[in-house]
């Protein structure tokens, strides 16, 4: 499984607008076959920050997601709300039993 944390810093006062705009990309992404989960989380300590936390079956699934029309549209629509470039962290995980 691949876990993605995509942190976004927004222009002041733009968080509510970003969350409203994100509804379409979240709904479309959750329908992708290899998407395990896809959430947009609010940073409760910083009024201008939030993060997408995503879980994908594998890196190939993430690569497919990055090419989707809904993600391309999201990038275009949200670009003017961002104060800086999105930072992305990727983690590889595996299930273990105890």
**Residue (of 74, 61, 97, 59) closest to 26 by Cα position:** 74
| Within-domain flag for 11 | yes
Q: Note whether residue 26 is domain-resident.
A: yes
pLDDT at 94: 84
Gap between the Cα atoms of 58 and 35, Å rounded: 9
Asked if residue 98 is part of any domain, the answer here is: no
What pLDDT does 97 receive?
Answer: 87
| 52 vs 40: CA distance, rounded Å | 4
**Cβ contacts of 37 within 8 Å, gap of 6 or more:** 30, 53, 54, 55
List the pLDDT tens digit at each of the 98 positions of the chain: 999 999 999 999 999 999 999 999 999 999 999 999 999 999 999 999 999 999 999 999 999 999 999 999 999 999 999 999 999 999 999 888 88
Q: Is position 79 within any domain?
A: yes
Domain that holds residue 12: 2-92
Distance CA 9, CA 22 (A): 15
């Amino acid at each position: 499984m691949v876990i993605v944390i995509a942190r976004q810093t927004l222009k002041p006062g733009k968080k509510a607008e970003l969350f409203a705009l994100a509804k379409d990309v979240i709904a479309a992404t959750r329908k992708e076959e290899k998407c395990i989960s896809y959430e947009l989380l609010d940073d409760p300590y910083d009024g201008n920050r939030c993060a997408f936390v995503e879980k994908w079956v594998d890196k190939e699934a993430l690569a497919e997601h990055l090419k989707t029309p809904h993600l391309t549209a999201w990038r275009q629509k949200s670009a003017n709300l961002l104060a800086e470039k999105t930072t992305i962290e990727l983690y590889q995980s595996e299930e273990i039993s105890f």
